[in-house]
Amino acid sequence: MTSVVPEQNSQNDEQEEETLVVCDSQVYEEDSRKAYGPSVTQDEEVQYLSTRPKDDSDNTDPTTCTAYFESKDMGISLDIPYNPNWGNATYKIPPIEVLNEVGELRFGPLAYVEGGLTRLYQLQRYEKRTVEAIIIEADQEQQKHADECTLDYSVQTHGNLETVEREVDCVFNIFTIEVPGSKYNYVFTAIGSVEPLVKVVESVNFVE
């Protein structure tokens, strides 16, 4: 994730406290690779989100519903916060973006970072490891960066999942939630607030 404070919609935090309805459509990994507009490739999609200058016609309203996402390659399904009206007349923003072939996804509300449009949440897949191994690493990171940043972690249960939450407070707050899965571990990342991400984690199921 970038290290620049994003320009967020001030209504996002308020609306996340509400119960969101279910979006009309379900989203699978192959659908997330579709273009935002005619003749736009996957590479251009990512470039569009990360580098396109701010456009006053962009809809960056709060999320209004959740879209079901499933990926057998990643071994996971979850409910994605979404607003079908995101984007503008030329480009529509999909519920989730598959950024590469090794398990990196971007999703959630929109924000401008260094003048470009990006997403506030990220999901990455890693090799499976235990909660104990995650804690050992967190302790090491805490000691290594004690003079630079504040790093805190805690073991939390979300639904039926035992997870490790971390907060890194340097220039601004970055939160991660690591979820040990049946085949892989999944690290969810959010900028600014962890609470909307908790709701996403609570929806997680593992796909064989």
51 φ/ψ angles, rounded to the nearest 5 degrees = -130, -10
Residue 115, domain member (yes or no):
yes
Residue 5, domain member (yes or no):
no
Tell me what pLDDT residue 6 has. 44
Residue 197, domain member (yes or no):
yes
Q: What percentage of the chain carries pLDDT values higher than 70?
A: 68
The SS3 assignment for 103 reads coil
Residue 3, domain member (yes or no):
no
The domain total for the chain is 1
- Which range of residues forms the domain containing residue 116? 12-206
Residue of 136, 145, 138, 134 whose CA lies nearest to 169? 145
Q: Using the predicted structure, report yes or no on whether residue 4 has a pLDDT greater than 50.
A: no
- Reported as a pLDDT band with limits 50, 70 and 90, residue 119 is confident
Tell me what pLDDT residue 132 has. 94
Residue 71, domain member (yes or no):
yes
Q: pLDDT higher for 71 or 113?
A: 71
The SS3 assignment for 92 reads strand
CATH number of the domain at 130, please.
3.40.1000
Among 18-22, 76-80, 102-106, 125-129, name the one with the lowest average pLDDT. Answer: 18-22
Can you say how many angstroms the Cα of residue 131 is from the centroid of all Cα atoms in its chain?
Answer: 21
Residue 51, domain member (yes or no):
yes
Residue 99, domain member (yes or no):
yes
Residue 1, domain member (yes or no):
no
Q: pLDDT higher for 59 or 1?
A: 59
Tell me what pLDDT residue 168 has. 82
